[in-house]
Amino acid sequence: MSIPFIDLKTQYGLVEESVKTGIENVLQHGAYIMGPEIGELESRLSSYCAVRHAVGCASGTDALIMALMAFEVGPGDAVFTTPFTFMATAEAIALLGATPVFVDIDPHTFNIDPDDLRRKISDVKHSRKDLTPKGVIAVDLFGQPADYDRIEPLAHNNGLFLIVDAAQSFGATYKGKPVCSLGDVACTSFFPAKPLGCYGDGGMVFAHNDEMHKLLVSIRVHGMGEDKYENVRLGINGRLDSIQAAVLLAKFAIFPDEVAKRQAVADRYASLLADIKGLTTPTVAEGNTSVWAQYSVLAEDAAHRDQLMGQLKAADIPTAIYYPKPLHLQKAFADLKYETGDFPVCEEIGARIFSLPMHPYLSEKDQEAVAAAIRG
């Protein structure tokens, strides 16, 4: 039997009863849209994240779009973010007519580099008369928090908002604080492969501020006012549906245990792979925790990566590259006029990185098989 990259089947075995009961409840009460499961999930997850408000929405992408809309981001605004992330992070900025301004990454955490962020904010202020610096979206790549103690003051001292893209890091902590309690607003995704996933699309926006909460609730349903046929601003159809919320309530019951199991799997990888020449295992910055959405390692270079991925494939072990092409080199962003060489750390890491099977139910035996295949 081959090793799955992510094992949602074993997980389903553990939650089957409660998922079925939850879905059956929705089918019986009939409130498919904005049923009682939405409020219940929002209240459970906001307390888990130690943040005042949570707004369930249709996807992680919609969570980002809703947050940017709440900050009235539009044409002429610059929003700083990393090019080493999933498309949605920068796409949300561009969809609203604003300009993503990319910032290089830290070579150890793969998250936005605060020193380069400082430079890029200054560049836009001093040499881009066409742009107004407006905000920062920091991404917690692979489940590890970005360097918020340095990013937050940089954002706020320059009058910029800070959005945390926690699509991969729900359940992680930064210096003891849940990541979704950081920034002005935090966004997460419940896409099935994320650490907390549903059985379709889903997402959530977290906010401390009552005013921000009201805005997000309005934007989620076409900019509604006091009732849904009064529209006081433009919004979207960004609702989470009741069935997905029921699935999430069932899965959330085992989530803290899964976070602990993911950490145990990551620790085991670290010791099994420690002495392999030319392979760099991931590190988490002191005082923080990752939820290990991916376990991503570095080969020496692209050729070495091809070789290692080939050895794993021959042993029937799946791997993946996140992300094969950084966003500044994607055709969709060609009009931003970035070139190869603009983000040297991101490009170098992108040529060396690949991800190993990672999920809470990965056995020691399977991890040993992964390590053996890498050794060759």
Nearest to ligand PLP of 83, 114 (CB atom) = 83
Query: Where is 42: in which H helix or E strand?
Result: helix 36-48
Closest residue to ligand PLP using C-beta atoms: 60
Contact 212, 53 (CB under 8 A): yes
Angstrom distance (rounded) from CA 120 to CA 131: 12
Angstrom distance (rounded) from CA 181 to CA 235: 24
Q: Report in angstroms how near the CB of residue 40 gets to ligand PLP at its nearest.
A: 21
Angstrom distance (rounded) from CA 309 to CA 331: 26
Q: Report in angstroms how near the CB of residue 59 gets to ligand PLP at its nearest.
A: 4
Binding positions for ligand PLP, 265-324, rule CB under 6 A:
none
| Contact letters for ligand PLP, residues 149-168 (x by CB under 6 A) | ----------------x-xx
Q: Report in angstroms how near the CB of residue 314 gets to ligand PLP at its nearest.
A: 29
Angstrom distance (rounded) from CA 204 to CA 196: 11
Q: Report in angstroms how near the CB of residue 211 gets to ligand PLP at its nearest.
A: 25
Binding positions for ligand PLP, 187-216, rule CB under 6 A:
189, 191, 201, 203
Q: 292-331 burial by CB neighbour count: b if 16+ within 10 A, else e?
A: bbbbbbbbeeeeebeebbebbeeeebebbebbeebbbbbe
Q: Report in angstroms how near the CB of residue 85 gets to ligand PLP at its nearest.
A: 5
Binding positions for ligand PLP, 326-365, rule CB under 6 A:
none
Binding positions for ligand PLP, 73-132, rule CB under 6 A:
85-86, 88-89
Angstrom distance (rounded) from CA 54 to CA 45: 7
Give the range of 54-62, 208-216, 254-262, 280-288 binding ligand PLP by CB under 6 A: 54-62
Which listed residue (59, 111, 158, 181) binds ligand PLP by CB under 6 A? 59
With CB under 6 A as the rule, give the number of residues binding ligand PLP.
15
Q: 342-365 burial by CB neighbour count: b if 16+ within 10 A, else e?
A: bbeebbebbebbbbbbbbbbbeee
Q: Report in angstroms how near the CB of residue 30 gets to ligand PLP at its nearest.
A: 26
* Binding interface with ligand PLP (CB under 6 A): 59-61, 85-86, 88-89, 139, 165, 167-168, 189, 191, 201, 203
